[in-house]
Structure 1
């Protein structure tokens, strides 16, 4: 069975997993999950009881949740391409550390801002100020890590850059910092915008005509996935 990625719209962090699958070039399908209505539904909770995206139904029929787990699972198939590294190697440790930073400090910096967007009119000025400070701090830290590098880990893209692509665009939704004031980060972001896999992921999210540069073989509905026999 081809793996199925459940990706959240709009603006889900699952964007990075779509980019990763495209870079790997393996056959896969996508299942579109609207947030918050479908992602919190009883039907989707049969896939992920936490009610979050992404989730990955693997080729063996197992379900993986959480971006780090999914990217590390996919990474085992991208070692030869330099997208990931063998567990126990220094490259794996550096990749895991970068993914952890993106998943905690960089991702979570936006959490107060997402809350204010989803719960307007609750006197959220303090939360916005707090979110702005967190986002600025995370951007400054990532800017320092990128100094002198073309990509997050050096001279070639890895799955960390795929994950970054999905989160860095959130400043377009929450304009609390100007990405251009972080030149290394801005250069990386712009480089990724020219990547066919990133352009494909954007088109898929916005239901535009999209040409896969990888192994995408089509969408599948959640109801159809739930009819599949258990592994």
Structure 2
């Protein structure tokens, strides 16, 4: 399978889940900083993915899966024994669905594009930072008494949350008021498969070849 990615974009979450589940991915770098976005061979990324953003998962049968939250569940369900996602139809799966939607629509989209594009203006960025802080307060409350976001079992929701918390320093969304998130973040960074995914995902093709 192929995963179209860009270093430190939200494609890091599927890379983490694949590593945790023991699923091999062929990482295909997309330069999303240029216009148009291009692959390493110069191909316009819009010719591959009309939505023009990462991640995109291309399965072995050639079918494509877009949207980070959906890709995470697809990967987890390829290896149910990994425990990365509860069984479909279970109450626990419903809880996972709710958190993935929250992370995608309420937290992820409060960061991007607002906090990575200064041209939106200081007022918009200040509003986005305040919104992020209020969303982190919800996550902080959820982590009270829990090792991972859904309880004592690491899940794809943790992989997705890691992306945004990993952006916090660069985006100017401090975590000082959220000790449980900071402790959770340290646990995440200590996981061998998370470290492996970061190494593989954070390098451009040129860096990997060096």
TM, length-normalised to structure 2: 0.88
Q: Which residue of 2 aligns with 1:15?
A: 12
Supply the distance in 1 between the matched residues of 2:156 and 2:142 (Cα, whole angstroms): 16
Supply the distance in 2 between the matched residues of 1:38 and 1:72 (Cα, whole angstroms): 30
Given that 1:109 and 1:138 are in contact with CA atoms closer than 8 Å, whether structure 2 keeps it comes out as: no
User: What secondary structure is seen at the aligned counterpart in 1 of 2:82?
Assistant: coil
User: What secondary structure is seen at the aligned counterpart in 1 of 2:186?
Assistant: helix
CA RMSD of aligned residues (A): 1.9
1:204 aligned to 200, 203, 210, which one?
Answer: 200
Q: How does 1:18-167 map to 2 (within 5 A)?
A: 18-37=15-34, 40-41=37-38, 43-111=44-112, 112-116=114-118, 119=119, 124-167=121-164
Identify unmatched segments of 5+ residues in structure 2. none
Q: What are the superposed Cα offsets for residues 176-204 of structure 1, whole Å, 9 maximum, x if unpaired?
A: 32x13201111111100111222123223
Supply the distance in 1 between the matched residues of 2:194 and 2:29 (Cα, whole angstroms): 17
Taking a change above 3 Å as real, the CA distance of residues 160 and 39 of structure 1, as seen in their structure-2 partners, is farther
2:181 aligned to 173, 185, 193, which one?
Answer: 185
Deviation, 1:72, is 1.5
Taking a change above 3 Å as real, the CA distance of residues 89 and 45 of structure 1, as seen in their structure-2 partners, is same
Deviation, 1:43, is 2.3
- Larger RCO (CA within 8 A; separation ≥ 6): 1
Deviation, 1:35, is 1.7
Deviation, 1:36, is 2.4
Supply the distance in 2 between the matched residues of 1:92 and 1:39 (Cα, whole angstroms): 38
Given that 1:98 and 1:160 are in contact with CA atoms closer than 8 Å, whether structure 2 keeps it comes out as: yes
Supply the distance in 1 between the matched residues of 2:159 and 2:45 (Cα, whole angstroms): 25
Identify unmatched segments of 5+ residues in structure 1. 209-218, 220-231
